[in-house]
Structure formats: structure tokens, C-alpha cells
Structure 1
Amino acid sequence: MRIAQVAPLFESVPPMLYGGTERVVSYLTEELVRQGHEVTLFASGDSRTTARLVAGCPRALWQEPGCRETLPHHVRLVELVAREAHRFDVIHFHLDYVHFPVVGRLPCPTVTTLHGRLHPPDQEAFFDAYPDVPLVSISDDQRQPIPWANWQATVYHGLPLDLHTPRESPGSYLAFLGRISPEKGLESAVEIARQAGMRLRVAAKIYPEEQAYYEREIAPLLRASPWVEFVGEVGGPTKDAFLGGAFALLFPIDWAEPFGLVMIEAMACGTPVVAFRRGSVPEVMADGLTGFVVANVPEAVEAVGRVPGLSRRICRQVFALRFGADRMARDYQAIYRKLVDGQAWPALPVERPAVAPRPSGAVHHRPTILGPLTVS
């Protein structure tokens, strides 16, 4: 197939350090190329790919000191895609919403993976205006705020199986990997480590908009917590060693995380995860195999004490069964073929209460593309 992948321009594809969406786009693009497809990647000019690269800007916008407005760059990117749309069988967007006014006029089908959290007060009217745009969710939980949108499937993220190094022996520290933000729960991670009597190593990015929060809340906490080591951003082999060398990864989020790539990165190393039951966590985690799903700090402390009873080999095995890039690419190919063949699901009728209820379980009004879990 002739496939276009359209990535955000904030970070390169793949990003040098932190950057979840661009990293997933890279894994998907490279796997589609490996499987024999003709792929064009629309991304920043400093991206690295075996696909044909069309540069939407010379350099990743968040790495460009002179960039003050990112929206004009993305509007221009959509125009570049539209000019080349006749070349493709399908176009896969990862841009959130900026391209929606254009997709109905393109000569080939499109699909959009939404990578962020949905907020009905801001987005209900928007999805009402574009009810026929085919969408993919990255977890069933991600759909819950707006379950009537035109979801085609849930496709979980995947990683190349050789990206991370499985390690049989656990390290002696707990790990926290992510960005400095209130919803990521670093304060809870610090408290879990304190109560567990273990060292905590923190690898985190601080975005400019979170600098004040870091200075006000996190920096004093770190100074008062001698058991915590802040190591900054990590990537590549450094991240592999950081995750693989950990006793366990702490993922004490305080929001409805749409996926949580760091969880499967840890699993790929064989490192168990202790995660709060929020958002996608119950879908991504195999509780009791890849770690433990808990409700709060006391449960997390107790779970840390049970980590030695887990098998790092089985943790890695579950990752390989469920979260390989090859599986992710096959799942997306099934969607592409349905779109090209005109068999995609139509938009659902917009019939709902004024305030959408949040179901207690997973939403399955579109099929999730993922087989059953079996490990031996």
C-alpha cells in the first residue's frame, strides 16, 4: 500500500529524548516500511526514517528557539499533505484536529489517531461538526468522554522487540520516567519510595509551561528528600539502562492517561510496573504479571514489597505478545484496508444525554484490535 504518515512537528521523528506521539509514529512508520509498504512520512526535517521524508519545517519546533507560534507550521503541513494526497492509498494523521476541515476534500481515505485526552466541554461540538472523520483510539478508556465519535478501532501502541534489553536481575532503585506535571504524580512516587525505604531515581523533562510548578512544588520536595536522585531527561541507551536497571517503575498518575508508553517500555526491559488505576492502566497492565495495579500510595507501597514475587521473564513475554511494533502495524493495516475498500464503520447517530456518563468499564462500541493474552 501507499501510506502517508503525518506527524506533529513539535519533536523530530523519532524524538531525541522525550516525545511520545512522535516516537510511536516512528515505530509505526519503520515497521510499515519493513513489511514492504511504500510509506511517506510528513514530519520535521531533522527526522530520521527509512521512509520518504517530506519536511514540514526544517527542525523540530520545540527545539527551535525562534519558534513562537506552532499552529502556522501545522496548517502549512496540512497543505503539503493535501498537495500530495493523490499519491496515496490512505493518509494517517497524528495531528489532533487541525486537518479535519480538509479530509473530506481529499481524493483518498484518511484515519486519525487521537493521542491525547478528550475534554467534552471543548470538543463535543467539534466532533458533532465532523461526525464522519474515521478515528482510532489508543485505549478504550480514552473514548469514554465522547464514546459516540466515529471510532474505527482501538490500537494499542507498540515498540520494536529489539528496542530494549531484557534484564533478568532487578536493580535496587525505583524509577520514575515522564514529564514534570501535576497529573504525572511525582509527589506520590517520592512518598511511595520513602515509605518503601528505597531509593528513587527520577528521569523527567520540564517543559517551559511547567517550570513554575517545578520551582514551587517539586524542587523543594527533591531538596527535602535525600532518597531521591533527579537525573533529568534520558533517551536511547541511557533510558534503556535506566528502566532495565530499576527494581520497578512507579506510575502513580493522577489523570486519565490515554495510554502511557513508559509502562510498555519498562515491560520491554522486564521491569515490573506499579501503577495507579487511572485511565488506560487496567488495559495496558496485566495485573500480577507485569506489575500491580493499585488505588493509592499505601497500596503501592505494599505492592512494591510484592515485586520480588514477579518474573521479569514473564513481564517481558507479556510485552512481546501484546505490544510489539509488528502487531501495531498489522492492526493499522487492517484499518487501512477497510477504509480503502469502503468498509469502514459509518459515524454513529449523535443521540446522547446532555452530559455524557462515564462508564465504569471499558467501552467497546468499536472493536479493539488485540488478541487474548496467553503466557506460559
Structure 2
Amino acid sequence: MKIAQIAPLWETVPPPSYGGIELVVSRLTDELVRRGHEVTLFASGDSQTLASLEAVYPRALRLDSEIQERPLYEVLVPSQAYQRAAEFDIIHSHVGVWALPLAEVVSTPTVHTLHGRFSRDSSEIFGYHSRQHYVSISDAQRQTDLNYVKTVYNGIDIANYSYYPTPQDPPYLAFLGRFSPEKGPQHAIAIAKKTGWRLKMAGKVDAVDVEFFEREIEPLIDNKQIEFLGEIDRADKADLLGNASATLFPITWDEPFGLVMIESMATGTPVIGIKMGSVPEVIAHGKSGFVCETYDEMAEIIPAALELDRKTCREHVKNNFTVTQMVDGYEAAYKKVLQSSIMQSLMKNNRFNPAQLFSLLR
């Protein structure tokens, strides 16, 4: 198949540190190329890929200090991709609402992966384009009535995550993610304070979250019990997670997926999460971690998490959340959408050509 992948411009593909969507796009795109597909990636010019790179802008928007209104540049990616729509069998968008109006006016079908949570306003916009083809990244994410093709869980290359059979001594808990209210770093700190555990925290602080960080997080960082590592690269992330006794995932919102959960379990470290969004779908309760009703329960269950088999945590990821499984899911979604699109076109024109159908779906 000839496939266009449309990535956000905010981070490079793959991202040097934080950037879940861009990491997923990178793994998906490269594996599609390995499987023999002809793939064009529309992304920032500093991206690295096995596909043909269409550099929409020279660098990731987050790294360009000269841009004052970064969100305006997000429209560049789908604009350039859809100008070339006729060159592709299918277009795969990872940029949310920006691609929807353009997808409606070209004959090449689009698969839209929903990477975020629905708000009242975004539900209205997606609902207006409800007949487009959507892939959810968890069943819990499906909170708006759309034309869902499939749920495809995000996947990682487990070979990039070393297995840590035993946690570091002295022991600590880990928190990895954006320092924003919805990710729950304030709850991670409260759990550590309540239990007396050391807590190592890493992640980025976006401009919109600086006030929250300075008010609620920074005063509690003593670099003794509560240690802040800042934004770290992928190798350091694996060390942080793998050496931990458990990883805390105390979110306050309906997280659509949460890559950090599978990254932690891949290293062998169990995850203790709150029962919101995709958490019950990602954690095997009582095997690779625990799904808790409250933050107090998260604190109380730490001793039980220490008794879990770390090999089982890694096996859970191998069996459910690898790049291979993710790409298998997307190939199935592409074929389903293409089959529907071709059949509609042929029926509309009173033509049916089995050879054409076979050539596109093989």
C-alpha cells in the first residue's frame, strides 16, 4: 500500500524525550516500511524515519523560539499531505481535528487515530465529521458516537527496554510524565509523603503548567525524599522505571492510553494506577500492577505490588502491547477502510473489478 502518515509538528519523530504520539508514529511508520509498504511521513524536518520524509517545517515547533503562535502552524501538515492525496491509497492522520475538513473533500480515504480525550467542543467537531474512519487507542476512549473502525493499543519495541529483575536498593517509587494537574504528580508526592517512600520524578513542564508546578510541586522537592530529574531521554527513562520498586500512575483524567504504563511494565516494574480511562485495560490487576479506586488505596497497596513477579509484568507487555501487534491492528484497519471505500466507489460507478481490490489490499 501507498500510505501517508501525518504527524504533529510539536515534537520530532521520534521525540528525544517526551512525546507519546510522536513515538507511536515513529514505530508504526518504520515497521510499515519494513513490511514492504511505501510510506511518506509528513513531519518536522528534524525527524528520523525509514519512510520518505516530507519536511513540512524545518524543526519541531517546541524547539523554535521564534514562533509566537505555534498552534497556527499545525495546519501546515495536513495541508501539504492532502495536496498530494491522489498519490496515496490511504492517509493516516494523527493530528486530530486539523485533518477533518480536508479528509471530507478528497477521494483517498483517511484513518484518524484519536490520541486525545474528548472535550465538549471537540466532541461537537468530531461529531460533525462522524462518518470519517476512526481508530481508538482504548475502548474507554470511545465516549463520542463515531464511525470506529477498530481499537488499536499503542505498542513499543520491547527490545529497547532492558529487563530489571530486581529494583534498586535503596528502593524508590517512580513518576514519569508531564507535570500537569491531570497527570497527578501532586498525588504521587502525597503518596510518597504518606508512606515514607522515596520518590523519583521526571518529565517536562509545559508553559501552561509552569504556575501549577511552581505552586504545588516545586516547594515539595527536597532532592532527598522527593527528587526531581527534569526532562530525561529514553535511556534514562528506562533506568528510572526499571530500577524502581513500583511506578505510580495517579492520573486525574480519563487517560486515553498512557505509554508510561507499558514502558514501566516492559522493564519489569509493576504499575499502581487509579481506575480512570484506559488504566483497567492496560494493567493486569494483581499480575502486572494494581488498579485502585482511590489515591489512599494506591498508597496502601504498595507492599502488595512489591510481591508481584517482575517477569510477569514484562510478559504482559510482550503479549499485548508490542509494535508488531500495533501494526497488525493498523494494517487490518487500513484494509477494512480500503475495502469499504473501493466497494462504495465501484458500486457508485456500476463497476466491480476484483483485481483492483486485491492489488490494494495485499
Q: What is the CA-CA distance between 1:183 and the residue it aligns to? A: 1.2
| Structure 1 partner of 2:350 | none
Indicate the structure whose relative CO is greater, using CA pairs within 8 Å and at least 6 residues apart. 1
**Take 1:311 and 1:272, find their aligned partners in 2: how far apart are those partners?**
8
**Take 1:211 and 1:45, find their aligned partners in 2: how far apart are those partners?**
28
Q: 2:255 aligns with which of 253, 257, 273?
A: 257
Would the aligned equivalents of 1:152 and 1:344 in 2 still touch at CA under 8 Å? no
Amino acid at match of 1:125: E
| Structure 2 partner of 1:370 | none
**Take 1:345 and 1:19, find their aligned partners in 2: how far apart are those partners?**
37
**Take 2:5 and 2:335, find their aligned partners in 1: how far apart are those partners?**
15
Question: The residue matched to 2:177 in structure 1 has which SS?
Answer: strand
| Structure 2 partner of 1:194 | 193
- Residues 214-244 of structure 1: CA distance to partner in whole angstroms, max 9, x if unpaired? 1111111224x84111111112211111111
Q: Please say if 1:63 is aligned against 2:79.
A: no
**Take 1:123 and 1:195, find their aligned partners in 2: how far apart are those partners?**
38
| Structure 2 partner of 1:213 | 212
Would the aligned equivalents of 2:163 and 2:267 in 1 still touch at CA under 8 Å? yes
Q: Residues 1-376 of structure 1: matches in 2 within 5 Å?
A: 1-120=1-120, 122-144=121-143, 146=144, 148-171=145-168, 172-223=171-222, 226-342=224-340
Would the aligned equivalents of 1:152 and 1:345 in 2 still touch at CA under 8 Å? no
Q: What is the CA-CA distance between 1:143 and the residue it aligns to? A: 1.2
**Take 1:303 and 1:310, find their aligned partners in 2: how far apart are those partners?**
11
Seq. identity, %: 45
| Segment drifting more, 290-299 vs 40-49 | 290-299
**Take 2:306 and 2:15, find their aligned partners in 1: how far apart are those partners?**
34
**Take 1:345 and 1:310, find their aligned partners in 2: how far apart are those partners?**
50
Q: What is the CA-CA distance between 1:141 and the residue it aligns to? A: 1.1
| Structure 2 partner of 1:373 | none
Would the aligned equivalents of 1:338 and 1:344 in 2 still touch at CA under 8 Å? no
Question: The residue matched to 1:331 in structure 2 has which SS?
Answer: helix
| Structure 1 partner of 2:360 | none
Q: What is the CA-CA distance between 1:161 and the residue it aligns to? A: 2.1
RMSD: 1.7
- Residues 124-175 of structure 1: CA distance to partner in whole angstroms, max 9, x if unpaired? 432332121111111111112x1x1111111110001212111111221100
Question: The residue matched to 2:96 in structure 1 has which SS?
Answer: coil
| Alignment TM-score, normalising by the size of structure 2 | 0.91
Which stretches of structure 1, 4 residues or longer, exceed 3 Å deviation after superposition? 343-346
**Take 1:248 and 1:345, find their aligned partners in 2: how far apart are those partners?**
50
**Take 1:138 and 1:56, find their aligned partners in 2: how far apart are those partners?**
26
| Structure 2 partner of 1:363 | none
Amino acid at match of 1:289: K
**Take 1:125 and 1:174, find their aligned partners in 2: how far apart are those partners?**
40
Change (3 A) 1:344 1:333: farther
Amino acid at match of 1:296: T
**Take 1:69 and 1:196, find their aligned partners in 2: how far apart are those partners?**
44
Q: What is the CA-CA distance between 1:123 and the residue it aligns to? A: 2.7
Q: What is the CA-CA distance between 1:345 and the residue it aligns to? A: 12
Change (3 A) 1:345 1:21: farther
Would the aligned equivalents of 1:90 and 1:336 in 2 still touch at CA under 8 Å? yes
| Segment drifting more, 193-202 vs 270-279 | 193-202
Question: The residue matched to 1:153 in structure 2 has which SS?
Answer: strand
Q: What is the CA-CA distance between 1:303 and the residue it aligns to? A: 1.4
| Alignment TM-score, normalising by the size of structure 1 | 0.88
**Take 1:343 and 1:320, find their aligned partners in 2: how far apart are those partners?**
34
Would the aligned equivalents of 1:190 and 1:200 in 2 still touch at CA under 8 Å? yes
| Segment drifting more, 240-249 vs 75-84 | 75-84
- Residues 281-311 of structure 1: CA distance to partner in whole angstroms, max 9, x if unpaired? 0011100111111122321122111122211
Question: Number of matched residues?
Answer: 342
Amino acid at match of 1:277: K
Change (3 A) 1:298 1:315: same
